[in-house]
Amino acid sequence: MWMTAVAVLSASLFESGRADDPRAKVTVDSAKKEVTVTAGPFHVEAMPPGVKHEDMDMMEGHNTPLIRFEWPVDGWLRGFRLEVVDGSGKPLDRRIVHHLIGVNFDRRQLLYPAVERIFGAGRETEDMFVPRTIGVPMKSGYRLGMYMAWQNETGQDLHDVQVKVHLSYSPTNLNPRPVDALPLYMDVNLTVGKSNTYDITTAGKHEKSWEFTMPVDGRLLGYSGHLHDHGVAVRLEDVASSRVLATVKATLARDGKITKISRSLPGVGGDGIRLRAGRKYRVVGVYHNPSPETLPGAMAHITGIFAPDDVPKWPAVDLSDELMQDDLASLNEMGGSHKHGGTEGKH
């Protein structure tokens, strides 16, 4: 009886979430081969004086609820650009969005029993596109969603904010056919359904790592990552040889704030980075704490596009998995949607 109740609950969360969850407006420009997802309007409160982003994670209004939409075309996703505008359509500084994450309920992550994180951007992330020879395979009707966290350092509340995500795609008649590449997420501190942040309690250089065994063979074609202020780098290592395979580096201002994060596309001009099934790898986050005081809310992960040798070997979504249930529940509760009725702009 208990397992039946869990299965029904998980299927409900997987299918459509709450009836009053916010939805996004989706338009297709077939000439540009672009899908635009528009969310809002939002009321974005100014950060209190002296408060850092790391202190705001549990504050009301910091995160939006999950915003659901359907993918409208068959083809391959090949990049995105982010636009933030006010009520009159005037551009706003996109850095008020600390991060934006897109999820795909119809496909699982490779390393975690959680739904796919199909695209993502941090405030330091530039628009991202890959050549038409590469793409994430997509089907019309895929159930997607996205959520955001704000970092409004303008000193004033912002009203009627809209966030537009422009997603470029390749059509099914493209010749030659693009190489199928799927998102690969590697985090130093992820617990499915819970937070991936951690505190750094010592001064100077600090490293945190996580090891995993690769489930399938394939090639890492491109990668970038995400760090918080005072983050130096995230790297991927082969455990047996300790060889560094990939490194994401941060560009820091003098006060330790991140201004840019590096990206690499080794699969565009070359063969990419070969990752082998059954082999152990390690992802390592590097920070430099400038003081003996605790540095809260650190985060470090690498996100990449990965071409598996055999796509059918990719693990399937399993709604009976307890961690998958935790992930679905956490997405459903994102931004307090269960308390705020899923209404955008009312935090």
Under 8 Å between Cβ of 100 and 90: no
Question: Is residue 48 classed as helix, strand or coil in its secondary structure?
Answer: coil
Position 10 scores a pLDDT of 45
Position 63 scores a pLDDT of 84
Nearest-angstrom CA–CA distance, 346 and 229: 29
Under 8 Å between Cβ of 233 and 260: no
pLDDT averaged over 10-residue windows placed end to end, the chain, 347 residues: 40 51 86 96 85 54 87 96 92 92 96 94 80 95 94 91 96 94 96 92 96 98 94 98 97 93 90 97 97 94 96 96 95 64 29
User: Closest Cα to residue 143, out of 170, 120, 119, 115?
Assistant: 115
Q: What percent of the chain has pLDDT over 90?
A: 75
Position 236 scores a pLDDT of 98
In degrees and rounded to multiples of 5, residue 283 shows phi and psi of -105, 135
The CATH fold of domain 181-308:
Jelly Rolls (2.60.120)
Position 11 scores a pLDDT of 47
Instruction: Quote the DSSP letter at residue 214.
Output: -
Q: What is the pTM of this model?
A: 0.85
Position 1 scores a pLDDT of 36
Under 8 Å between Cβ of 321 and 237: no
**Which sequence spans correspond to the domains of the chain?**
1-180+312-339, 181-308
User: Closest Cα to residue 107, out of 148, 139, 79, 78?
Assistant: 139
Sheet holding 280-289, edge to edge: 204-213, 280-289, 231-238, 244-252, 258-261
75-85 and 158-170: which strand pairing? antiparallel
Instruction: Quote the DSSP letter at residue 198.
Output: E
Q: State both tokens at 118.
A: 């199909």
Under 8 Å between Cβ of 233 and 250: yes
pLDDT tens per residue, range 65-115: 999 999 999 999 999 999 999 988 999 999 999 899 999 999 999 999 999
Nearest-angstrom CA–CA distance, 179 and 156: 46
In degrees and rounded to multiples of 5, residue 323 shows phi and psi of -70, -35
Position 27 scores a pLDDT of 98
